[in-house]
Every structure is written in structure tokens, then in C-alpha cells.
Amino acid sequence: MGLPDGFIELIGEPDGSVPVEVLALEIAKHAHPELCVDQSLRDLDELAGACPDSSVESICRFLFVERGFAGNSTNYYDPRNSLLDVVIASRRGIPITLSIVLIAVGSRLGVGFHGIGLPGHFLVGLDDRNESFIDPFGGGQELDLAGVRNLYHRLHGADRAFGVGMLDPVGPRGMARRMLGNLDAIYASRRDLRSRLWASTLRASIPGSSIEEEADVASAHAALGSFDCAAERLELLALRSPDQMAENYRAVAAKWRSQLN
């Protein structure tokens, strides 16, 4: 695709060996090829260096009160909210990118944070505090387990089942997959087909990606009119798929190939 390949190289490293902010910036570089990842990392260094002390409470107050990092509720589905360089500069983002800022600043100050992929939201857990969570999109508010449960039910309704397994830590690969899934959906809804292609391609490059995620790449190629490439991808996926899924993939591939005649 003629795009930077830093993400694809780094995502193959053992999960956790590459900081999530580096992966997030390599994603952003596909939207902004001129982006200097090292400069954005220095911006995070400067943020951490300006924090008064390394307590959890101080870090959250510094980022979400003094420096004004906040959720972009007005333009939530703007793809820039998923691009970490923009979030660092604008101080506006969505739950997962604001969480990455907190995790990155905390790591520079020796504070262990980790991602929590709550369905429909994203939180930060504390390595040394059980059942204590930070909601960056909610202004850095600290929540206990009951508070997270209440937040979940506000988002999904009182009848939706909540399980503590939803609060398992999410590593850098999982966070990258979620960010790219967000971007894929947003770009598809905006008919930004070329951006959707790189987002779906990067997501499918993450070890452990599903057949469905790989099929999304084929769909993205087809949407751009690259029917031969799209059909070839689906035909290869059909060889690894259960019978009914394989049959469906072959039928779609045949339909796409018919567009070439």
C-alpha cells in the first residue's frame, strides 16, 4: 500500500514488549505519514516530567484537570480521536486513546497501569490496587467494582449481564486491535475507503486475528474495485474456514471475479 510498515514489524514482537503508545503512534502514522513518532514520544516524556508527583491521584489530576485532557463527546466518531498524536496535541479523545495517554505517562513515572476493555467503554486498571479503576473519559474518576458495574449498566441497560471477566487486563495487542476496529468502522461509515483499507489490513496483521477480520480486508479491497485481489484473499480464507463459511466465501469471491468480465 506504500504505507509505513513500522506497526506490522512491531506487532509481531511478544505482547507487552512494545509500549502501547508506540503501537498507537505507528497506527496514527498511516493517517499522517509525516508524523515523527519520536517527537510524540518526547511530548509524552514532557507531560510526565511536568507532573508534580507520581501518585495515581496526582497523575489523574494533572492530566484531566490541570492539562485538560477530556473526552470528545461532541465529535465522538471523528477518526482523529483514535489518532494518538492528535489526542496528545488537542487533549481530546475517546476512552481508549485517553487511557493510552494515562498508561504512557504512568509508565514514565513508575506507576503500573493496564487497559481494561469494558464492552462499549475503556478503563484503566491499577497494577497494585485490586478492584480500583480509572475512567479517563470520565475526567480521571476513580471507580470501585460497584462503580464500574453502575457505569456498565448506564451504558447498556439494567438488564444487561455484567461479569467480572469483562475487567481482565488488555495488553498492547488487544488495545491496538480495538483501536483499529474503531477506525475500520468509522472509515467505513464515512466511505473513506482507502483509510478503511489500511485500518483493516493492520488489524488483520495482529497475531491471533480472526478469519472474519482477515475477510474484512478482502471486503475493503473490493470496495475500492480491486476485485481480483479481494477474490484471491477470500479463496485463500475459504481453505481455512468451516464448511458453511468456506462456501459463502467462495460464492462471494466468484461474484467479485464476475465484476472483472
Write out the chain's pLDDT in tens, 261 residues: 444 579 999 999 999 999 999 999 999 999 999 999 999 999 999 999 999 999 999 999 999 999 999 999 999 999 999 999 999 999 999 999 999 999 999 999 999 999 999 999 999 999 988 889 999 999 999 999 999 999 999 999 999 999 999 999 999 999 999 999 999 999 999 999 999 999 999 999 999 999 999 999 999 999 999 999 999 999 999 999 998 999 999 999 999 999 876
Q: Are 124 and 114 in contact (CB under 8 A)?
A: yes
**Domain termination site, one of 119, 144, 170:** 170
Q: Which of 116, 138, 170 is the last residue before a domain boundary?
A: 170
Domain end: 115, 137, 170, which one?
170
Residue span of the structural domain in which 49 resides: 6-170
* Statement to judge: residues 79 and 103 lie in one domain: yes
Is 234 part of a structural domain of the chain?
A: yes
Task: Note whether residue 97 is domain-resident.
Answer: yes
Same domain, 50 and 164: yes
In a domain, 1, yes or no: no
pLDDT the model gives residue 261: 67
Q: Which of 227, 192, 189, 241 is nearest to 252 (CA)?
A: 227
CA distances from 186 to 81, 142, 192, 195 (A): 11, 29, 9, 10
Q: Are residues 103 and 211 in the same domain?
A: no
Buried b / exposed e over 154-193, threshold 16 CB at 10 Å, is: eeeeeeeebeeebbeebebbbbbbbbbbbbbbbbbeeeee
Which residues have CB under 8 Å from 21's CB, separation 6+? 41, 44, 84, 100, 101, 103, 104
Q: Does one domain contain both 25 and 108? A: yes
Count up the domains in the chain and report the number. Answer: 2
In a domain, 76, yes or no: yes
Q: Do 64 and 122 fall within a single domain?
A: yes
**Quick one: pLDDT at residue 1?**
47
On whether both 125 and 198 belong to a single domain, the answer is: no
Contact 85/160 with Cβ under 8 angstroms? no
Q: Are residues 20 and 126 in the same domain?
A: yes
Same-domain status, 163 and 208: no
Residues 111 and 224 in one domain: no
Q: Are residues 11 and 110 in the same domain?
A: yes
- Residue 21 included in any domain: yes
| 223 occurs within a structural domain | yes
Residue 153 and residue 31 share a domain: yes
First to last CA, the chain: 25
Residue 17 included in any domain: yes
- Same domain for 96 and 18, yes or no, is yes
Is 66 domain-assigned?
Answer: yes
Give the residue carrying C-alpha cell 513515572: 109
